[in-house]
């Protein structure tokens, strides 16, 4: 640890900590103190930390949804190419299956089936209430934002998107950005 900075005139430095000291301190804290009275005074590193399972489920849902969107985009690109280059729509089912790219379409279809089930199960597991932070509320709104189609409900989508952005700004200690009504509409 020779790269540590010296304080003041160089004579005042914290002692260097060895790995052995860190491991010893960690094991003492984890196992508790030797005497009963001291056990309550030393916080256990294994103590439960407040967590937000709902936010983790939202993050999982968003990750699965992103995979679905990527696969759907790949499907669309491949199918467009097949229509353009091989007259895909004019081919019989047997002729389509004979093309080597049909396997990739089948594989994507199978993956999408599994991912749709996972996404639905995750959506059912996201709690409707009980968030412990503004970030977890914003995570739920990110899920809602993707569930509402912008093309079908532009006003609702804009409201949810704006609310999510405001919550993120508030959670970071910034005032939300004020946007005029005309620029907020899509």
Q: What is the pLDDT of residue 14?
A: 36
Q: What is the pLDDT of residue 6?
A: 42
What's the count of helices (H) and strands (E) in the chain, helices before strands?
8, 0
CA–CA separation, 108 and 111 (whole Å): 5
Threshold 0.85, pTM exceeds: no
Let me know how long the chain is: 186
CA 136 to chain centre: 11
Q: What is the pLDDT of residue 180?
A: 56
Q: What is the pLDDT of residue 72?
A: 96
Q: Which two tokens stand for residue 55?
A: 């936010």
| 101: CB partners within 8 A, 6+ apart | 78, 81, 82
* pLDDT < 50: residue spans in the chain: 1-50, 185
φ/ψ of 49, rounded to 5, equals -100, 135
Q: Check: CB of residue 32 under 8 Å from CB of residue 44.
A: yes
Among the listed residues 46, 61, 57, the one whose alpha carbon sits nearest the alpha carbon of residue 131: 57
Q: What is the pLDDT of residue 33?
A: 38
Q: Check: CB of residue 139 under 8 Å from CB of residue 63.
A: no
Q: Which two tokens stand for residue 15?
A: 């002692």
pLDDT tens-digit series, residues 107-152: 999 999 999 999 999 999 998 888 888 888 999 999 999 999 999 9
Q: What is the pLDDT of residue 182?
A: 52
């Amino acid at each position: 640890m020779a790269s540590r900075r010296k304080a003041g005139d160089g004579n005042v430095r914290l002692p260097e900590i060895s790995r052995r000291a860190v491991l010893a301190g960690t094991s003492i804290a984890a196992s508790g103190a030797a005497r009963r009275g001291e056990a309550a005074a030393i916080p256990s590193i294994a103590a439960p930390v407040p967590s937000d399972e709902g936010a983790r489920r939202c993050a999982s849902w968003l990750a699965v949804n992103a995979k679905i969107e990527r696969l759907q985009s790949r499907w669309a690109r491949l199918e467009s190419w097949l229509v353009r280059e091989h007259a895909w729509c004019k081919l019989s089912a047997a002729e389509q299956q004979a093309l080597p790219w049909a396997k990739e379409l089948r594989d994507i279809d199978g993956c999408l089936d599994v991912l749709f089930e996972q996404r639905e199960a995750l959506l059912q597991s996201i709690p409707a209430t009980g968030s412990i932070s503004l970030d977890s509320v914003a995570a739920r709104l990110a899920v809602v934002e993707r569930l509402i189609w912008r093309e079908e409900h532009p006003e609702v989508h804009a409201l949810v998107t704006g609310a999510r952005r405001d919550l993120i700004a508030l959670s970071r200690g910034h005032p939300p950005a004020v946007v005029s009504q005309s620029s907020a509409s899509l």
